[in-house]
Amino acid sequence: MKYAFFIGCVTPVMARQNEVSTRRVAEELGIELIDVDDFACCGFPLRSVDVETSLLMAARNLSVAEELGLDICTICSGCAGTLNEANKELKENDKFRREVNEKLRKIGREYNGSIDVKHFATVLYEDVGLEKIKSKVKKSLEHLAIASHYGCHYHKPSHIYENREDPEFPTSLDELVALTGAKPVDYEDKMQCCGGNIVGVDENITFAIASEKLEHLKTVAADSMNLVCPLCNTVYDRNQRIIERRLNKSYGIPVLFYPQILGLALGIDQGELGFNMNRVKVSELLSKI
């Protein structure tokens, strides 16, 4: 099992725990993640400015992986969405592919639609499989109640993901949590967006949206949030203290990337899973294991 590893722009600067834990878990499960220096931004930030440039950026990344003969594995839902959306259109629309290739040839590239793009969580869910992962669990996380935040681009828009799961009631992240022995918990407005995409336009709206979810997690007494996107993480983890101060609230809810949770269950040393990079304190949570 081998993939071109698409780290994305946000993780290396704001969520190294995502990368550290993903690499360590991949190693444990025999998933080879190949580093590719030629990858650039996925194209997502350009959608609002110029969709054509955004699509070309995505197509360029796809062509880089195709040249290596590898499918792409991302650890950001924004990257997964942008690359999948472009990939679907490039595979299904011959005219569009020809037009894009005319432009890609100017930089000496071409894309023939031969690869797939998957988020690391989807690689775990579909390619490795729940049963195989479960068979490697060494330490049940039975004392933890974990609330999954699916975010938006991990599974939506559903048409770019071939309707892999119900956009209103997805289950994959909860199933991934359950196999660690932890209790997956439901909560109000589970599908709500983090609001991170407009933090640079009006952060008060983002923080108000995010505080609703933190409030709901507090109500169900979740030990931690489980997420798979570094942009969502910047809102809920990096900005949780700011949200608490601005809105005069108190949450203190740890925010973990799924590979950090799985890593604990696989018996990987806590020191190798990047917990020291989490902003909201995780010591109480870790003491329950």
Residue ranges binding another protein (CB under 8 A): 7, 9-10, 12-14, 16, 19-20, 23, 35, 37-41, 45-53, 56-57, 60, 103, 106-107, 152-153, 156-158, 167-168, 191-193, 195-198, 200-202, 205, 208-209
The token pair at 127 is: 């390619």
Of 40 and 242, the one with the shorter C-beta distance to another protein is: 40
Residue 55 to residue 136: CA distance in whole angstroms: 39
Residue 90 or 179: the one with the smaller Cβ distance to another protein is: 90
Maximum CA extent, the chain: 57
**Structure tokens given for 1:** 């099992």
For another protein, the closer of residues 48 and 112 by Cβ is: 48
Query: What is the DSSP code string of 74-133?
Result: ES-HHHHHHHHHHHHHHHH-HHHHHHHHHHHGGGT----S---EEEHHHIIIIIIIHHHH
User: Do 234 and 8 meet the contact criterion of CB atoms below 8 Å apart?
Assistant: no
Minimum Å distance from CB 271 to another protein?
A: 11
Distance CA 235, CA 214 (A): 11
Of 93 and 140, which CB lies nearer to another protein in the complex structure?
93
Look up residue 274 and give its two tokens: 């990047």
Smallest gap, in angstroms, from Cβ of residue 251 to another protein? 18
Pick 64 or 141: Cβ nearer another protein: 64
C-alpha torsion 43→46→50→55, nearest 10: 10
Least CB distance to another protein at residue 189 (A) = 9
Residue with smaller CB distance to another protein, 141 or 210 = 210
- Nearest distance in Å: CB 231, another protein: 11
Residue number, 48 or 140, with CB nearest to another protein: 48
Pairing of strands 117-119, 183-184: unpaired
- Give CA–CA dist 88/199, Å, rounded: 29
Least distance (Å) between residue 107 CB and another protein: 5
Provide the minimum distance between the beta carbon of 182 and another protein in the complex, in angstroms, as a whole number. Answer: 26
- Shortest Å, Cβ 71 to another protein: 20
Element (H, E) at 219: helix 203-219
